[in-house]
Structure 1
């Protein structure tokens, strides 16, 4: 089998064409709280799980704007699908810390790459000859049932307890291990993003070879915007924006369909024929389109102006990070407008709008959407060093 040459636009086109299959799987996703295996296979064939995998390992290594557009289209169809795509691509960014040979050995060539995992250092890793012994329990492993690799962050310990780095903080190490190494716990009982299957998992004294480990924010082996410690968070968090705004666009789709068919319990007048509803729809459209234009412009500028020795803080990165947070919160605001404009229609599952409302209000809880990011951005804009990484 040989690698298939695919243009960047083809990835977006494939994402759009997956929509009917995604829609058909929604009920099963809700019932099973995961993406069905057949749909996951289609996503894999379209390259969704490895958009940011390095070219040296057989990946497409897409630019962040194209990656955004792919995840946006998937999320327009179903937020849970876009979310699992973004999380796997978080794992793809981490592979920039491996040699190309190690990556090919781990994932095959052409690569079979679907990852889940956790950025939080909830486990412990003990150095042993040839690697680490890892134990711990992690949460929020979106897409774990369809993954073949897990990435985990762990505190490095020895007989005396946690090791400290030069700054006096606990030393951590990121590690990759086959998903078969883990025990999965069914913990995903939530209000939104129900189909992501973001369950807990546990590793018990699992051996991980040195070549499958790396230190976060150490100089990567792959070069470029996707893998650089300063821009990695921008590259992955713009995909969170894509899920949020894709979900908002899907909410607009659902509302427009509803508005041409329904009145409300107190009036038979179609929603589309009511001035107040027209105003809300116009406002929601301006919010969605404006936030999208802002985030694509800011991240595009950061990508175009990338260099290996960027100043700290970087004006371009700061603007991109602020645009990401702003767009996620604006997406939730737009969906709220549409939800309330629909009246009691909005609460019925048959209309789809309530699904978008639930999903976007889970997305906005992610770290990329936290209001504390405005504080860090303000620090950067006033010449201070932000107290968070990736600015």
Structure 2
């Protein structure tokens, strides 16, 4: 049998993901079948450099795959996105270390971006301590990324502006203690727990700078700005969950009647118009989002860096898509009935996942 392409979601794989989504939500972590699929398809290393053993997919292909998975199960799409995104950092590590990490059996990189720890210079490396929140996929992570404030002799190191110097690190999971703090109403199976490191030493090469000027892999993927990459990957997840909600909402509305008019809800002109308008607005925003993403990628692939206007356009199209998705979900939910409020219904799970994921700091309106 021909293996599935790494940048597409086959109907068979979509069914496998969907079949176990409810059980994963109840268990508060991805089902073993879902975890196995992430590894078998190589999705967790799809943004890692080819030179390190990753797939180094063009960004628009990776983003479309992330949306497709999120449209089946929001938690799995989120884990794929955040962990594959952490794998992207391998393009900024020393090549030998990157190969060793990406070559780890069942490799999965998790982590957090907040600089809520400290890295004390010690010999040829750093001694790291701190606690970080929201590491999606934490139970299956073989390595963790983190940002830490640099210190020397117990004193903070400052940059030219007098602010604390921050450095990113990638460390083995053996140095990390997971703190089970994830208890949100949605995205339950993402298992986005906190993690702690207590005075563990790592060699200097485990630190890196997330900057195209310091990329160690040559491809255009590592010249694409980090924040632009973050916006498009998060927005694609929101789009996937919103499209799933729209599909399920239409089914709910089809089976309801208007109490006052005695008509099926889909035959009430105002309801039919609302559903149509939300679907059209979402489709238009999604089309614009991908047009901007594809154009920005073509520019970077042609060795032309994104200027400030181009990066603002990527951010604006991402946030516009999320805003229109929010409006669609929130305005259609009241027409879906008590079935949509049942915790064990698929539409309720999608609604919970969507609203939990929408709280990400970068997605603020």
Is TM-score (shorter-chain normalized) higher than 0.5? yes
Match of 1:235 among 229, 234, 237: 229
Q: For the residues of structure 2 that align with 1:262 and 1:180, how far apart are their CA atoms? A: 53
Match of 1:120 among 114, 120, 125: 114
SS of the counterpart of 1:116? Answer: strand
Cα deviation for residue 40 of structure 1 reads 0.8
Q: What TM-score do the two structures reach when normalised by structure 2?
A: 0.91
Q: Deviations over 1:173-225 (max 9, x none)?
A: 11111222211111111122121111111011112222221133352112344
* Number of the residue aligned with 1:11: 7
Q: Deviations over 1:302-336 (max 9, x none)?
A: 111126664752x2222111111111121111111
SS of the counterpart of 1:12? Answer: coil
Cα deviation for residue 35 of structure 1 reads 1.1
Q: Deviations over 1:144-175 (max 9, x none)?
A: 01211111111111224211112221111111
1:59 correspondence with 2:50: no
Distance 1:311 1:60, change over 3 A: closer
1:185 correspondence with 2:168: no
1:370 correspondence with 2:364: yes
* Number of the residue aligned with 2:87: 92
Distance 1:361 1:347, change over 3 A: same
Q: For the residues of structure 2 that align with 1:117 and 1:265, how far apart are their CA atoms? A: 49
Q: Deviations over 1:252-291 (max 9, x none)?
A: 1212322333436667643333322211211121122111
* Number of the residue aligned with 2:297: 303
Aligned residues: 362
* Number of the residue aligned with 2:310: 316
Distance 1:346 1:268, change over 3 A: farther
Q: For the residues of structure 2 that align with 1:167 and 1:312, how far apart are their CA atoms? A: 24
* Number of the residue aligned with 1:50: 45
* Number of the residue aligned with 2:64: 69
Q: For the residues of structure 1 that align with 2:74 and 2:35, how far apart are their CA atoms? A: 14
SS of the counterpart of 1:121? Answer: coil
Q: For the residues of structure 2 that align with 1:169 and 1:221, how far apart are their CA atoms? A: 27
Q: What TM-score do the two structures reach when normalised by structure 1?
A: 0.86
* Number of the residue aligned with 1:108: 103
Cα deviation for residue 49 of structure 1 reads 1.4
* Number of the residue aligned with 2:243: 249
Please tell me whether the aligned partners of residues 249 and 347 of structure 2 are also in contact (alpha carbons under 8 angstroms): yes
Which ranges in structure 1 are unaligned for 5 or more consecutive residues? 372-391
Q: For the residues of structure 2 that align with 1:280 and 1:195, how far apart are their CA atoms? A: 32
Q: For the residues of structure 2 that align with 1:225 and 1:316, how far apart are their CA atoms? A: 16
SS of the counterpart of 2:116? Answer: strand
Q: For the residues of structure 2 that align with 1:115 and 1:176, how far apart are their CA atoms? A: 9
